[in-house]
Amino acid sequence: MSAPLNLWLVWAAGLSAVAGLLHLGIIVGGAPWYRYFGAGEDMARMAQAGSWYPALITAGIASVLFLWSAYALAGAGWPLAQGVFAWQRPVLGLITAVYLLRGLAIVPWLLFKPALVSPFMLWSSVICCGFGLIHLQGVLQVWSRL
């Protein structure tokens, strides 16, 4: 009999998948969505002008997030993902580290240049820290079986 699913990693998978879907929504939403979600005025202008560049970058980010979601499901013990994803231990560790480092990257800005911290930088950092902590909890629980 297989081990029960690790719910922390199932949640982590869901969060990464939702973030991936959001990125696809930004592509569809165009310039106003690029602006709203803090991608920067240059990306919004390029999208408004019909450039393929913003969509390509955003689709790439979405693809990575979907891959991370699949790895989290594999680590959680999802039956359909078993045996499909190699190097689960280092990859899940790296995914966790990326989320946590992205979330904590705002700390120097807050300490040394707080006037330059935008609301987007703040809330996206909090979200990434949350995603990272959820991944960390799940990865720590399944580490010995990865």
The DSSP result for 10-59, as a single string, is HHHHHHHHHHHHHHHHHHHH-HHHHHHTT--HHHHHHHHTT-SHHHHHHH
Distance CA 89, CA 68 (A): 13
Please give the model's pTM, rounded to 2 decimal places: 0.92
Residues ≥6 apart with Cβ < 8 Å to 111:
none
User: What is the domain partition of the chain in residue ranges?
Assistant: 7-145
Percent of the chain, pLDDT > 70? 99
Task: Give per-residue pLDDT as tens, 75-124.
Answer: 999 988 878 899 999 999 999 999 999 999 999 999 999 999 988 899 99
The H-assigned helical ranges of 49-118 are: 53-76, 88-104, 106-112
Residues ≥6 apart with Cβ < 8 Å to 122:
106
pLDDT at 43: 95
Task: Give per-residue pLDDT as tens, 18-28.
Answer: 999 999 999 99
Residue 4 pLDDT grade (very low, low, confident, very high; cuts 50, 70, 90): confident
